[in-house]
Structure 1
Amino acid sequence: MLAVIGGSGIYDIDGLEEAQWQSVDTPWGAPSDQILTGRLHGVAMAFLPRHGRGHVHSPTDVPYRANIDALKRLGATHVLSISACGSFRDEMAPGHFVMVDQYIDRTVSRESSFFGTGCVAHVSMAHPICMGLSRAAGDAARQAGVTVHEGGTYLVMEGPQFSTLAESRMYREVWGCDVIGMTNMPEAKLAREAELHYATIAMVTDYDSWHPDHGDVDVASIVAVLQGNAAHARDTVANLARIFGGAGCPTGCETALDFAIMTAPGKRDPVLLGKLDAVAGRVLG
């Protein structure tokens, strides 16, 4: 099953057959919204609006653990994150898509793991993206007529405010980041813990605040670009469904927990184990 998490401006998917909105209960609370399921070009699909329909969740308050658990519980194997982002590069212009391959996590107020006291686990995040899914999504976006940049580092800030000029310059000039957004962490970490194939399309809406020719981030301008990006994103998802079967995984996403759990079986908390039934059931039995 291919799941899509839609960011700002993307609250549904066009063309789904047998479409229905489903409520999913999770041990981590309610997801951002009901999940839209159906089939697209023969592929089982699930769609979750990250901020909820009507954009009711701020980046900090998105229930990330519930979202990933709910998608896994429904049978999702691959998750495509579609996210609005600012750009630190002239060539990554508003309206372009960036196929992110790295993150720098600057969030501070979010639960970032399914594991903890009573069942400790450490997964590798060295290569946080499923490159098979990312390449397929990039091809799908190009087929939709979008300018696509392969590879890029996504700085994830806490928000909800935009960056100061000093921060924007530091992220660009000192840290070497390419795009900036507020939502892909801890989402990517949780997807790895759940052994899901995860990839990000960063849809560029603006140049953050560093660019001398574009001034400060202007929400009205962002919304205008969002509308065009959303149409391209829907076309991209439709194209991806057509080629989805060819998305192989060189990253080993589906075995991320093979050697990750450190807590001895006799010391594991049964209450926490019960909450991990969907995300870690393969290794916990």
Structure 2
Amino acid sequence: MTLFFDILTIVIPVFLVIALGYGLRRAALIDHQFLFQTNRLVYFVALPLLLFYEIGRADFVANFNPALVAGSSLAIALGFVLSYGYAAVRGYPPAVRGAFSQGAFRGNLAYVGLAIVFNAYGSEGLTRAGILMGFLVPVLNFFAILALLLPHRGTGGEHGARFWLRQLLLNPLILASFAGIAWSFLHLPMPVILERTLRITTGMSLPLALLAIGGGFTLDRLRGDLVRAFLATGIKLVWLPLLASAILLLFGVRGEELAIGVLFAGTPAATATYIMAHQMKGDAELAGAIVMLSTLFSALTYTLTLYILRSSGL
């Protein structure tokens, strides 16, 4: 029973902050314009600074595990192949196929994943998760774009090589992660003024990210084919973490790093799946429903996952 309550102290605070964001929006204390600006602030400034700070001041060699990166990347690739293959075999329309597949493997690592890992494993876990995320975000972006473009191949799509490169290379989270990795790898000193400035500014990153998720939560997005949405949610929250745990164990990943890999695999679908579905001829209603359902049910699946991990000594 003590273990169960310990897990609740990890999971519940994260989702209470999300609920606070929802409550503030319902009470009209924040509005759409505030959420739009907050999302931009988090995505382009707050989270990049957090990643650079946590990774840059860490010992890269001690915190980088190539087996964890390779195993997590393979889990994402297999998640794409299996979900897209299933949608193709079932004969889903092109727009549905892309949204279904993307929602089944693309998780919200930055907003939810980092918050859960930080609550569970502290600053050390956050540093390892940040390094891992730096390598996984390009992988997620690549397969997300692939999932949305493949159904429309041969139809004269608008997105060429320049779009692909911009999505993969100019992502602020990728740039910040690799800047932090370079800083850490080269053992560059972090001046006291810079270190204290970053410590203050990065404190707003995760709270703002969670408030933005809650503020943007709306049941109006629960439209479209809810059977497919539930199916994609089940793949994302249950089958992908199980697949990731099997692969990581096969790759020899153990301890806290195994736990981080599994927690990252179990993140709810990223809000970006809804945005990209809009931009790239995907079924935006289905994508929005997957985001909403997976966010709701991730409170339960995270509780169960952490219970299993802690029962196993992780």
What range is the shorter-chain TM-score in?
A: under 0.3
Taking structure 1 as the reference length, the TM-score comes to: 0.26
Task: Give the TM-score normalised by the residue count of structure 2.
Answer: 0.24
Quick check: which one's strand share is greater?
Answer: 1
The structure with more helix, counted as a fraction of residues: 2
